[in-house]
Structure 1
Amino acid sequence: MRPSHLFLAVLVAAVWGVNFTVIEIGLDHFPPLLFSALRFLVAALPAVFFVGRPKVAWKWIVAVGMVLGVAKFGLVFVGMDAGMPAGLSSLVLQIQAVFTAVIAAAVLGERPTRVRVTGMAVALAGIGVAAWDEGASGPLGAFALVVAAAACWGVSNVLTRKASPPDALNFMVWVSTVPVLPLLALSLLTEGSSRDLAALRALDWQGAGTLVFVAWISTVFGFGAWGWLLRRHPASAVAPFSLLVPVFGMSSAALFLGESVSPARWCAAALLVGGVALTSLAPRRRPASPPDAGGTAPGKAPIRSSDHAESPLTATR
């Protein structure tokens, strides 16, 4: 990668990590489901008028919008509002790479290699340490909500791979149009219209700033830049930068929110990040070549399995 491309990859990881701290601040201004709905509304408008028509079938846009936007982000915002720390949330969500690999094996028939299985076991050990540490100091229910969000993220990753969008930004903007109304309906049902209206009436510059950051900076810029990098470099070269997200997430939460990081949490971070690295970056099994294939087709370069290493950030934050 060129130095400018390296800088952009680190910048996107930093934005996605700091995003958890910004969400925590935003939850002081909005009920969680309303905040999530507004995030997608601001991400979709006015960008939807500039990215062109959808480049994949609407069934994939709706499916990913419901699983990623409504289920995954609804659970994350509710979990963080219920007491899940921002830094720990940025770490625990990385277990989505394990869920993605398991679901891909079940749905797509992708048999994981021994290295990937080892990575899953290490990452799950990290989740166990994090749960034990959180159980000693915080609500386990909120922790479970974020783990459930990671599982939904894994489902959305597999759906996104099935959709194979040629333009990540176009896809993300159109996906952002789907969750707005379902999340608003859920907010009215569970959080109440009076609480929602009170939050909107009390909107100040800090609240508006959190909306702009999570919608335009984290979603539109983050995915636009990430997709741009993936179009110019193999996924195996871009994906490792996603492992910096919890580093920036935990650091920014400690710096701006005063969250402490216990020795057990550092141990969990090392296990989880290491396990996710093995799970996400290990080459997939190569499909067996037909006996009469004669190797590489004329005029085509051989495909390296490392070029298709799955990125842990197939979906947005």
Structure 2
Amino acid sequence: MKPSDVGVAVMVAVIWGLAFVASRLALDEFSPALMTALRFAIAAVPCLFVRKPDVSWPLLIAISGTLFLGQFLAQAYGLAHGVPVGLTSVIVQSQALFTIAFAVIAFGEMPTPVQTLGIGIAATGLLMICGTVGYDFSAGAFAVLMISPVSFAIGNLLLRRARDVPMFDLFAWLCLVPPLPLLALALVADGPRPTLDSLIHMSLTGLACMLALGAISTSIAYWLWGRLLRDYTAAQVVPFALLVPFVGAAASTLVFGERFGPLRLAGMLIVVCGIAVMLLSKRPQVLPEIA
């Protein structure tokens, strides 16, 4: 890879890692459903300027419902209910494990021995993390958060059916699906008045976080990542996604003062090591996690 493109890959990973911090800050002002709705309403603006890709509406809705709506709503819920930012960034990255596992079920794609080893390592780390649940956040919040990597993995596999279409156009139109259902959910779950108050009394910090999540982390970063995947092999590009949980954990420590006990920290590191083994094998089959 050219040095400039290496810089772009690192920059995207840093953006996605910092997005976890932006999400947590935004949740001080918005409910999980409303925050996620605003994120994709902003990210959907480019669809006004690009044509709808040659993808059926049912497939478009299925991809967006899993890859975007399910993943980010569950992620926001976990963050809003006390799951630490750094831990969340690692848990969501475990979508690599679920993507490979679901590919076995859906397509009969048997993982390589190296990928199988990576799955075992990552699963061990997840079990260690599970052993720390219940102290500073509830098991329910952790269970909902686990929907995020599972939903992302399903979206990865559905995305394979949308081949030979411009990726920027596709992702712009995928962003069009979540806002209305999530706004409806916010109105029902939170009530019309609290939802309206959140929008009316939005602070500059809240606005900045939403613009960062919608325009930078989703629209721009996805476009840059897609360009890298167009110009280079997945084996060259995807490993840079391993920087995301490290950036997320480091940023959460600096901004929120998060600290991790020995067992949880060891589990987080083991999960990342397992994902590294999977992504650095000869047959990378997964997309990177974003926030």
TM-score norm. by structure 1 comes to 0.88
Match of 2:71 in 1: 72
Aligned residue pairs, count: 291
1:52 aligns with 2:51: yes
Aligned residue for 2:124? 125
Of 103-112 and 219-228, deviating more is: 103-112
Going from structure 1 to structure 2, the CA distance change for 1:273 and 1:48 (only over 3 Å counts) comes to same
Aligned to 2:7: 7
Q: Hey, what's the Cα distance between the residues in 2 that align with 1:51 and 1:277?
A: 35
Give structure 1 stretches of 5+ with no counterpart: 285-308
Q: Sequence identity of aligned pairs in percent?
A: 34
Matched, 1:33 2:8: no
Partner of 1:160 in structure 2?
159
TM-align CA RMSD:
1.5
User: What is the rounded CA distance, in whole Å, between the counterparts of 2:290 and 2:58 in structure 1?
Assistant: 19
Q: Do the aligned partners of 2:67 and 2:153 also contact (CA within 8 Å) in 1?
A: no
- Alpha-carbon offset, residue 165 of structure 1: 5.2
The more displaced of 15-24 and 261-270 is 261-270
Per-residue CA distance 1:193-233 (angstroms, 9 max, x = gap): 12101101111211110110000110011100000100111
Structure 1 match to 2:102: 103
Partner of 1:176: 175
- Is residue 201 of structure 1 aligned with residue 200 of structure 2? yes
Cα distance, 1:86 vs. partner? 1.1
**Corresponding residue of 1:310:** 285
Relative to structure 2, which stretch is displaced further, 264-273 or 161-170? 161-170
Task: Give the superposition deviation at 1:137.
Answer: 3.0
Q: Tell me the TM-score normalized by structure 2.
A: 0.95
Which residue does the alignment assign to 1:136?
A: 135
Q: Deviations over 1:74-125 (max 9, x none)?
A: 1111111111111110011111111111111111121112211111111011
8 Å CA contact 1:238–1:311 kept in 2: the answer is no
Looking at structure 2, the residues matched to 187 and 264 of structure 1 have their Cα atoms a distance apart, in angstroms, of: 36
Residues 256-298 of structure 1, C-alpha deviations (whole Å, 9 max, x = no match): 11111332233112211111122233234xxxxxxxxxxxxxx
Residue 90 of structure 2 aligns with which residue? 91
User: Looking at CA atoms only, which structure, 1 or 2, has the larger radius of gyration?
Assistant: 1
Deviates more, 1:158-167 or 1:111-120: 158-167
Separation of aligned partners in 2, 1:104 and 1:25: 35
3-state DSSP class of the match of 1:177? Answer: coil
Pairwise CA distance, 1:316: 4.7
TM-superposed deviation, 1:166 = 3.4
Residue identity matched to 1:37: A
Q: State which drifts further: 199-208 or 258-267.
A: 258-267
Contact 2:87–2:249 (CA under 8 A) maintained in structure 1 = yes
Amino acid paired to 2:187: L
| SS at 1:260 equivalent | coil
Verify the 8 A CA contact 2:68 2:178 in the aligned structure 1: yes
- Give secondary structure in 1 for the equivalent of 2:135: helix
The aligned counterpart of 2:190 is 191
